[in-house]
Amino acid sequence: MMNELSMIQRIAVWILPVIFAITVHEVAHGWVAKKYGDNTAAMQGRLTINPIKHIDWLGTIIIPGLLLLTGTGFIFGWAKPVPVDARNFKKPRHDMAIVALAGPVSNVLMAIAWALLARIGVTIGANAENISLPLIYTGIAGISINLVLALINLLPIPPLDGSRVLTGILPSRLAWQYNQLERYGFIILLILLYTKILNTILAYPMYFAQNLFFSLAGIN
């Protein structure tokens, strides 16, 4: 459906879903960290959905923008990481795993919200296309970006959220050794993206998840 839109229309449809998917993801980390005893993010004013507090110009604007303009069909990004100090947790590795998982969970919840918004558009239908079509297109964008962020962040590549979850499961010594990969994590992710291996890894789970959420939206 997105192919029917002009570039300006596509940017207008994607901009809010992308910004909120990325920023709410980070807020979720900080909010859960606070629940487990770490107020670092709260003290730095990062527990807000105001995107200005979270924008990373490269990850929030430039990378998603380039991916959208080049029509890769695969859009993702990131915000400035919310600061979390695991020393404030009672069970640092366990609690950090829960904090990490909060990001992808927030994206799944947002995907549900965007699906419901698209459902409203579908319900309105042809009777008021000037209202229904923006809701449907924005809902599709919201579903897609949130599912992509949830799935990418669940990959066990340090420092992605999936690696924090895995660290909470592994024996301490093995977890320490595994986390030494963190310095190479961004490079690994770029290589996977450039070689399209990332697309291959995510293709089936993304297809399954999109079908599920598009059904919820009444689009399938």
Q: What is the reported pTM?
A: 0.90
Type of residue found at 148: V
What phi and psi values does residue 158 have, to the nearest 5 degrees?
Answer: -60, 135
| pLDDT at residue 2, as a whole number | 65
- Whole-Å CA distances, 85 to 65, 136, 174: 32, 40, 21
At 48 the three-state DSSP class reads coil
Render pLDDT for 168-183 as a digit per residue (tens, 0 to 9): 999 999 999 999 999 9
Answer yes or no: are the C-beta atoms of 168 and 102 closer than 8 Å: no
Chain-centre distance for alpha carbon 64 = 12
At 1 the three-state DSSP class reads coil
Render pLDDT for 140-199 as a digit per residue (tens, 0 to 9): 999 999 999 999 999 999 989 999 999 999 999 999 999 999 999 889 988 988 888 988
How many CB atoms are closer than 10 A to CB 181?
A: 14
- Whole-Å CA distances, 128 to 1, 124, 153, 204: 18, 6, 38, 35
User: Within 13 Å and on the Cβ side, how many CA atoms surround 123?
Assistant: 8
Q: Which of 4, 26, 129, 182 is catalytic?
A: 26
| pLDDT at residue 180, as a whole number | 92
Domain ranges of the chain: 2-78+87-217
Q: Who contacts 48 (Cβ-Cβ below 8 Å, separation ≥6)?
A: 27
Active site residue 4: no
